[in-house]
Amino acid sequence: MTVKKISVNKKVCKKRVCAYIRVSTTNGSQLDSLENQKQYFENLYSNREDIEFIGVYYDRGISGSKDKRPRFQAMLEDCRAGKIDVIHTKSIARFARNTVTVLEISRELKAIGIDIFFEEQHIHTLSSEGEVMLSVLASIAEDELRSMSGNQRWAFQKKFQRGELVINTKRFLGYDVDENGSLIVNPEEALIVREIFSLYLEGNGTHRIAKQLNEQGVATVTGAKWHDTTIRHMLSNEKYKGSVLLQKYFHDGVNGPKKLNKGQLEQYLIEDNHEAIISKADWQAVQDKLSSRKWQQGRNKTYRFTGLLKCQHCGSTLKRQVSYKKKIVWCCSKYIKEGKVACQGMRVPEVDISNWTIASPVTVIERNKDGKKYYSYSGQESTDQCSSSGQEENQGSCLLSGIHRPRRTAIKL
C-alpha cells in the first residue's frame, strides 16, 4: 500500500495592526513630526506578510488628558467592532496622560483580546506584567502633565503681570486683533454694540433687546440666537470702555471646569488699553442700572405664583410682569424671550386668578366665552371652574356644571 503525502496550504491569519499618534500643538515643527511618525509606521509594517496594517489614527492640537479626541474615539470604535487586533503607539504619554483613562481603556480592550503596544516603554497590555507596569508609568505621565500645566499657568501669570493680553476676540463683538496682538475696533460690529448699550439706557430690558435683535436678523459673534444672558454679558464687558480685566476666569485643576474668578486668583486691570466703543460715563451708567436691577431681583425673588404656572401652548413657566397700567400679569417666559416664532404666548391677569390656592406647578388653561377670558388649571375638580375679572365679588367661582348642581342645592337646603 502506497501512502501519498498530501500538502495542505494553511491560511495565514494576519494580525490587523493600527498606529495612534497625537501631537499637542499645530505649529510647523509638530506637523513635520507628525508626518515623520506616520512615515515611520507605514515603513515598519509595509513589508510584513503576517500583519495587515490598517493605517494611522492621529489627533492634532488636543491634550492627552482629554478623552474626547475624534480620531482616538474612532479607533476605539473600530476596536469594539472587531476591525483591529493591535494598537501600536510610541509612548504612554502620546496615548493618554490620565492614569484612569489609560487603565480603563487597556482593560476594556484586553477583555476583547486587543493588545496595546507602547514602543518606548516596551509594554504589551496582553502580557501578565503589562498592567502593573502600565499603572506605574501612567501615573508618571499624569504627574508630568500636572507639572506642565503648573508651568503654563505660571507663564500666563507672568504675562498678566506684564500687562500682556491673552484674549480670544472670537468670543465677543466689536474688536479684531492686529498683527501686534492689539485690539482694534471692528466698525460694523461696533454699531451693534452701541445700539445694545443705547437701548438699555433708554429703558429696554435685556429680554426685549435680545428679542428685537433676533427679529432684525442680527447675528451674534458665534452665529447663534440672542438671549438675555448674552446681552447682560455684553453690557458688563469692560473692554467696550477701553479697559481690560485679565484673569476673569480660571481652570480648577488639570483640565478642570472653567470658573469665574471671585478672588481665588489675582486679577489685573489695564485702563485705556485700546480704543473705546462706549464712553466711560455711559458704561458706568449701565453698570449702575444693572446693579440696581440685580438688587431689586434679590429682594423680590419669589411671589405667590412664582414657578407654579405653566403655559398651555409650550409648557414654559409664566413670569410675573407689571404692565404699563401697573397691572400685574403672568406671561409666557418663552414668548418674552423668543417671540411668536417660539410660542403664541399668553397673558394671565393676576386679579383673575387671585382666588387660586396651588402648591405644585399647574398648566393654565385659557378659554374665551362671550368675549371674556376665563382661566382654569389642570387638575381642577371641574374644567368649568374659572376666574374672571367680570364676576361679582360675592361669587367665589363660576357656576358649577350641571352634574354638580344637585349637590350644591342639597347643601343649601
Of 23 and 276, more confident: 276
Q: Which helix (H) or strand (E) holds 402?
A: none
Q: In the chain, pLDDT over 70 holds for what percent of residues?
A: 67
Q: What is the pLDDT of residue 199?
A: 92
Given 112, 146, 180, the domain boundary residue is 146
- Any domain includes 163: no
Are 186 and 258 members of one domain?
A: yes
Q: Is the pLDDT of residue 197 over 90?
A: yes
Nearest CA to 192 among 208, 168, 216? 216
Mean pLDDT of the chain: 76
Structural domain includes residue 164: no
Q: 194, 210 in Cβ contact below 8 A?
A: no
User: Do residues 140 and 175 share a domain?
Assistant: no
Residue 4 lies in a domain: no
**Full residue range of the structural domain in which residue 361 is found:** 309-412
- Containing 374, the helix (H) or strand (E) segment is strand 372-377
Q: What is the CATH number of the domain that holds 183?
A: 3.90.1750.20
Q: Is residue 383 part of a domain?
A: yes
Q: In whole angstroms, what is the distance from residue 24 CA to residue 64 CA?
A: 8
For residue 198, what pLDDT is reported?
92
Alpha helix ranges (H) inside 300-389: 333-338
Phi, psi of 372 (to 5 degrees): -115, 155
User: Does any domain span residue 155?
Assistant: no
User: Do 21 and 77 belong together in one domain?
Assistant: yes
- Residue 125 reports pLDDT greater than 80: yes
Whether 107 and 180 map to the same domain: the answer is: no
Place of cell 432684525: 216
Indicate if 196 and 240 belong to the same structural domain.
yes
DSSP reduced 3-state for 333: helix
Tell me how far the alpha carbon of residue 103 is from its chain's centroid.
Answer: 28
Residue type, 238: E
Give the per-residue pLDDT at 381. Answer: 46
Angstrom distance (rounded) from CA 116 to CA 85: 9
Residues 137 and 54 both lie in one domain: yes
**Which of 113, 146, 179 finishes a domain?**
146
Per-residue pLDDT tens digits for 129-176: 776 766 666 666 566 656 655 555 555 555 555 555 556 556 778 888
Q: Report the CATH number that the domain containing residue 31 is assigned in CATH.
A: 3.40.50.1390
Confidence of residue 57 (pLDDT cuts 50, 70, 90): very high
Q: Three-state DSSP class for 288?
A: helix
pLDDT for res 380: 64
**Is residue 24, in this structure, part of any structural domain at all?**
yes
pLDDT at 122 over 90: no
Same domain, 177 and 255: yes
Give 405 or 149, the one with higher predicted confidence.
Answer: 149
Domain boundary, last residue among 299, 322, 345: 299
Asked whether residue 272 carries a pLDDT value surpassing 70, the answer given is yes
For cell 401697573, what's the residue?
326
The three cell numbers of residue 262 are 471671585
Task: Confirm whether 1 is domain-assigned.
Answer: no
- Note whether residue 5 is domain-resident: no
Burial grade of 405 (CB within 10 A; 0-12, 13-18, 19 or more): exposed
Same domain (yes/no): 184, 241: yes
Q: Against a cut of 0.85, is the pTM above it? A: no
112 and 31 within one domain: yes
Together in a domain, 387 and 408: yes
pLDDT band at residue 413 under the 50/70/90 scheme:
very low
Residue 96: the pLDDT is: 77
Do 19 and 136 lie in one domain? The reply is yes
pLDDT digits (tens, 9 = 90+) for 321-370: 887 677 889 999 888 877 788 888 888 999 888 888 888 889 999 988 88
Say yes or no: 278 and 314 in one domain: no
The per-residue pLDDT for 88 is: 94
Rounded to whole angstroms, the maximal C-alpha distance in the chain is 121
Q: How many domains does the chain have?
A: 3
Tell me the percentage of the chain whose pLDDT exceeds 90: 15
Question: Is the pLDDT assigned to residue 46 strictly greater than 60?
Answer: yes
CB-CB contact of 246 with 270 (8 Å): yes
Q: Where is mean pLDDT largest: 3-17, 59-73, 370-384? A: 59-73
